[in-house]
Amino acid sequence: MTQQMTIAEFIRVFNEATGAEYRVTDHPDESNRSSRDIDAVAESEGVPLLAIEHTLVQTMSSQKLDDARFQQVFVPITKELADEMPPDLEVILNHGALQPRTDWAAIAESMKAWLRANVAAFAIGFKEHRVPGVPFGVSVLRPKDGIGLPFQIMRMATPDELRPQTIECVRAALASKDDQLQKYSDSGATTVLLLESQDWVLVDALDIHAAYLAARAAVRAPHIHQVWFARIHEPGGQYGVLCFDGPQAIMDAVNPANLEWRSS
């Protein structure tokens, strides 16, 4: 999904919640060649202009690099062994296991050999293992009811690992994007910071919201009037959009009535 598609979905939800008819009329970051600018301007008759800045929230500071390593090494293993493993088998790596200067080709071969040699021994439940030739711990999960996700290798991280880095990512976004939105705020526009997470494994929307609350307490961002959140729910590609911070009427219209935010 592209940034423009995320912004379009946000505007659709915003219009439904407010009764406005906003549509994107400019992409200043593309049209303004002289300085850094915001991602979109939307207009609707009789109401203030919407100035929208979109940013991706990286769950961990090394997430982009880790994602690339994971895609290169472990996704091919999942595909190669899909017909050989139990359909409910989940192999779990710690998120911090993906370190630089590692012989990933050798690790991939060791992992495949170990999985093939031990497939019949994977019992129901959760167990941690040491795999010969793999310099980090590997856990295996098989649900009791036999109903789980299709065989996959995934990454997990503890809340203690994730929380400080997620907070810092959101804090940096608030500080940086506040500067970009200032001239629009000063001119009377309604300014929106649109946070997006493409991580549907390590965190959920409530985790990002808690990180936002902690970040907001640590940095002033007076030129950001509203903060929204968008997330793609794979594999269907469906968006979920929430209003983290804004007029109460909008938050009531957008957010599920039974939503229970976590404290910061």
Q: How many whole angstroms from its chain centre is CA 26? A: 26
Q: What is the DSSP letter of 84?
A: T
3-state SS assignment for residue 203: coil
Nearest to 261 by CA among 216, 205, 214, 217: 205
Domains of the chain with CATH codes: 3-60+160-254 (3.40.1350), 63-156 (no CATH)
Q: Is the pTM of this model over 0.75?
A: no
What is the model's pLDDT at position 94?
75
Q: Is residue 100 within 8 Å of 62, Cβ to Cβ?
A: no
Per-residue pLDDT tens digits for 81-104? 999 998 888 898 876 666 777 888
Distance between CA atoms of residues 134 and 130, nearest Å:
8
Q: Is the C-alpha dihedral spanning 32, 33, 37, 39 positive or negative?
A: positive
pLDDT in tens, 205-231: 888 999 999 999 999 999 999 999 998
d(CA 123, CA 119): 9
Q: Say what the pLDDT of residue 237 is.
A: 54
Task: Return the pLDDT at 33.
Answer: 73
pLDDT of residue 31: 83
Residue ranges of the chain whose pLDDT lies below 70: 1, 60-67, 95-98, 145-149, 157-159, 161, 200-202, 232-239, 264
The residue length of the chain stands at 264
